[in-house]
Chain A
């Protein structure tokens, strides 16, 4: 799905917007363009969602197309699957990624499996949106990063945007995708940055990683909320004359292995950054692929910078010890440059 308008960096008439506004715009555009698109979840209607991602959409598109559901995540995802089977293009919002666990049976048993077990008769063109990740002092269990669980399920695409412009174009692509897409939105990024975002419809290709800052010393592989962290680390390193390459994976499944390998073959060094617990995290998959396909290009061990192997801490004053920051990324960079 190629972009069908030129993405301009110039400010549009309405000025720069936040990522949560960009997500709202994407859904508005989709609801406007395709009558099959429906949006539902907990508190997405009158209230406009706990993060206001669906602000005013029920007012604009009516209660039949933008509606609140009972408080039940398995029911929400299951309802969406049924709506998709009946020809709709559902967007389900799960209020926090840490709350999607009741829906795991629906996700693992059906969402990614339906096309396969019906040998192509049914597809599930459905998007599940969920805010994820930490860094904003949320209450317990509001800051989980379960992307590895989702990316491990065949048949599901997992997309994690890192900016307002990318969020809008990727969400529109996700809604138009014939397969189910999990769209994880870093809570930390919802309002941290404003960016000029094209108005109207545009879509980015799902399944492509992007070099967001070119460099030659070390490849930093990251996604979602960690892109900002890696960019900051790269700026600091640049002051010392060390050029880090930042690769935003953006789509975890299907993974763009070619872009990862191309980068690491040029730099010879890889640091992988994610905020989920370290063991079995998605970065382990990235590390394995580099080891399988590019080990002779490596000048140093592959290093991960991650959350620790403990639940995301509800102890807000020490939260920053858990979530990777630029300082920890730079320590890993020094290690691979030794």
Chain B
């Protein structure tokens, strides 16, 4: 199994791309938007306008390309690093800002955004992705309501594949032929632990064979490769041909979170070298050489992003102060006597 790549890191000397001009532009906009949000989020965090934040610099193509393969009605299941996937899938920037501000309004994703919340406990989202995918099949049978079935795109990192939940979920998905695409963003690091310390066989895609499911490995920094591979995997899932394990080879250029200092555990010269392989520059270079991307388009994209973020910040800044009584709301559908007591103690009215 080779690593699928269409555009090499240089952004030059590539063959025909299996995407339309319209798709390439859409992909560029989404990737540039993801980069823009990440850069601004880190700045906002430094300014004290965001809480602890998990940056994804360098992983935009792995998230954006795979998410673009989803169609209306499909579900996204993220870990905590998938803000790029989330905003590509329709989560408003204001919502992402409020989430990373630890404001309860940020936790209530809009009903029309078909994604589960960000997941902190590693790999625990994986079995949920399988169940959610299987629920779609039951919905399709018309037993409950008239809905189309959905495909589920679930994200995890290389470190997460060491967890038992990863194994259990992949095994369940294969046994039940669940319509799930598991995307492993192999970014080389689980906080300070490198992939080769995490597993003896660093080719995570090899495990697909063990589970009896389809596997694919792609250059995760090549938007065209991630999108094309995910399209194929999503199509297989939709056709009832079961799950896919998609390993996207990428690199965590940034720290684990804004609280982390990678200088303590890795050679930052090596990181700089790997950073040169990042996805946005190569996509931009390639699309400019094709004439798909022009100064004019780039300027327009940048202006649109500035405007979108400005409006998102206005929305986020207008969120009401947090009422402490909210701490004990939404524990049960109806507040029990113990929550009621706490709610009153917290000044709930």
B312-334 near A? 1/0 per residue, CB < 8 Å: 00000000000000000111110
A116 at the interface (CB under 8 A from B): yes
Smallest CB gap from B122: residue in A:
A105
CB closest chain-B residue, reference A88: B135
Question: Is the CB–CB distance between A78 and B134 below 8 Å?
Answer: no
A-side contacts of B349, CB under 8 Å? none
**A86 close to B165 (CB less than 8 A):** no
| Nearest opposing residue in chain A for B111, CB measure | A121
For B105, the chain A residues whose CB sits under 8 A away are 119
Which residues of B have CB within 8 Å of A123? 333
Question: Which residue from chain B places its CB closest to the CB of A85 in the assembled complex?
Answer: B132
What separation, in Å, do the CA atoms of A258 and B143 have in the docked complex? Answer: 41
Query: Would you call A87 and B135 a contact (CB within 8 A)?
Result: yes
B165 pairs with A74, CB closer than 8 A: yes
Interface residues of B in 252-287 (CB under 8 A from A): none
Chain A residues near B337: list those with CB within 8 A.
254-255, 257-258
CA distance A123 to B330 in the complex (A): 9
Q: Would you call B290 an interface residue if the criterion is a C-beta within 8 Å of the partner chain's C-beta atoms? A: no
Produce 1/0 per residue, B94-109, CB < 8 A to A.
0000000000110111
Q: Does B49 contact A (CB under 8 A)?
A: no
Q: How far apart are the CA atoms of A75 and B124 in the complex, in Å?
A: 9
Picked from B109, B111, B135, B331, the residue with its CB within 8 Å of the CB of A82 is B135
Task: Indicate the member of A74, A84, A105 with the most B CB atoms within 10 Å.
Answer: A74
A69–B108 contact, CB under 8 A? no
Contact (Cβ within 8 A) A69 B121? no
Q: Does A241 contact B (CB under 8 A)?
A: no
User: Is the CB of A79 closer than 8 A to any CB of chain B?
Assistant: yes
CB-CB < 8 A to B165: which residues of A?
Answer: 74-75, 78, 105-106
Say yes or no: A82 contacts B127, CB within 8 Å: yes
Give the Cβ gap from A163 to chain B, nearest Cβ, in Å.
24
| Contact indicator B108/A78 (Cβ below 8 Å) | no
What is the size category of the interface that chain B forms with chain A? Answer: 35 or more
Docked-complex contact B144 and A82, CB < 8 angstroms:
no
Closest to A112 in B: B331
* Contact in complex: B331, A35 (CB < 8 Å): no
**A87 and B144 in contact (CB under 8 A), knowing A78-B131, A79-B127, A115-B331?**
yes
Task: Name A82-126 residues within 8 Å CB distance of B.
Answer: 82-88, 90, 102, 105-106, 109-110, 115-123
- Is B20 on the interface with A (CB-CB < 8 A)? no
A82:B130 contact, CB within 8 angstroms: yes
Answer whether A79 and B121 are a contact pair too, CB < 8 Å, given A38-B138, A85-B116, A179-B332.
no
Complex-state Cα separation, A4 to B337, whole angstroms: 24
Q: In this assembly, does B246 line the interface, its C-beta being within 8 Å of a C-beta of chain A?
A: no
Contact of B143 with A81 in the complex, beta carbons under 8 Å: no
B225 within 8 A of A: no
Smallest CB gap from B137: residue in A = A64
Instruction: Show 30 A/B contacts (Cβ-Cβ < 8 Å), sorted by A.
Output: A35-B143, A36-B144, A64-B141, A72-B164, A72-B171, A74-B127, A75-B127, A75-B171, A78-B126, A78-B130, A79-B127, A79-B131, A79-B134, A82-B128, A82-B133, A84-B131, A85-B128, A85-B131, A86-B131, A86-B132, A87-B144, A90-B131, A102-B164, A106-B165, A109-B121, A110-B121, A120-B329, A155-B331, A179-B332, A254-B337
- Other than the given A78-B128, A118-B108, 12 more pairs (CB < 8 A) read A36-B138, A75-B130, A75-B172, A78-B127, A79-B131, A85-B128, A105-B165, A116-B331, A119-B329, A154-B331, A254-B336, A258-B337
In the A-B complex, list the 7 residue pairs whose CB atoms are closest, starting with the nearest. Answer: A82-B131, A86-B135, A78-B127, A75-B168, A254-B336, A35-B143, A119-B108
